Amino acid sequence: MVSQSALPRRPLGRTGLQASILGFGTAPLGDLFLELDDRTAIAAASRALELGINLLDTSPHYGNGLSEHRCGTALRRVKRQDVVLCTKTGRWMDPFHRPETRSGFVGGHPHRAVVDYSYDGTMRSVEQSLLRLGTDRIDLLLIHDVDVWTHGQAAIEDRFREAMAGAYVALDRLRSEGVVAGIGIGVNEAEMCVRFAQAGSFDVMLLAGRYSLLEQPALKEFMPLALKQGIAVLLGGVFNSGILATGPVAGAKYNYQDAPPEILSRVAEIQRVCAAHGVALPTAALHFALGHPAVASVVLGGQSPQEVERNLAALTTEVPAALWSDLKAARLLDTEAPVPR
């Protein structure tokens, strides 16, 4: 098991903060796909912090505030200064109306999420988050889900303008006042990362699913731009919703849905190359994601303390350089992609 002293940390852009190379993502603590009891959920977050993971990533969206509430309990059991706390804006919770849709969250609080990227809506969201988390400051604050995946092609331009005119102005003010150390965005599309990076001054960006062992659309434009501008990249979804963790089994998930045949086939080829080198597929996926110099941390979710321990254990596994060479030779990996050394 990786000890706290052995878990490396990387700088988070210009914030002065450093994050463990493995972060703890708390969407599962909002009852994503599976209802968790409080004891198990909070124990997972506590175990992550105990083992030296200092980056705790949450959002009001995760269970309509439930994830933040559970994270707040875990935070009260440690020294606040030892944790880099990341949460998001873009939704505030209306406690007087029940949710209309769950978006994959099968449990959560009985509060309706109101999508709102305005200045006032952002300030309301931040205030609610501080109360749920039981803290007086947030280290990283991200504008959440301004992407086509969430809002559709017809609405994305309006959402982007609203976010830059409202949420960005609010976050920039909170950064200048020291309420937050760094600001950024959290999205599922590399193209939106580029747009935001060109439109404002951001410290960090959390990109889910678009830079992984399976696909690297962020490689050509966003990753070089992040390096140039000093933006720390946090990678989520490095298992592409599960298929790089489970392999190409029946019912394997890709982009939150059942994986199509072409994805199952490609993952099977990647898995065969990994097996030839004696490396488990999820271990290769984790190590590859950490190989790019723009990446500060890979944020992995966990439903239990045991899952957290397994994720950390994967970091201790040696991955031979020949694995990356063979994947590139088989055209299963972009030949320009940096790999761990």
- 3: buried, middle or exposed (CB in 10 Å: 19+, 13-18, 0-12)? exposed
168 is catalytic: no
Dig out the tokens for 261 from the structure. 């045949």
37 is catalytic: no
Out of 31, 37, 38, 57, the active site residue is 57
Place of tokens 């190409």: 248
57 is catalytic: yes
Distances (CA, A) of 34 to 48, 102, 309: 20, 12, 20
Phi and psi angles of residue 143, each rounded to the nearest 5 degrees, phi first:
-80, 125
β-strands 257-258, 253-254 pairing? antiparallel
Question: What is the crossing angle of helices 38-50 and 66-75, to 10°?
Answer: 50
Phi and psi angles of residue 101, each rounded to the nearest 5 degrees, phi first:
-135, 160
Q: Dmax over Cα atoms in the chain, in whole Å?
A: 57
Out of 62, 168, 211, 254, the active site residue is 62
Out of 88, 116, 139, 147, the active site residue is 88
Place of tokens 């999420």: 113
Active site residues: 57, 62, 88
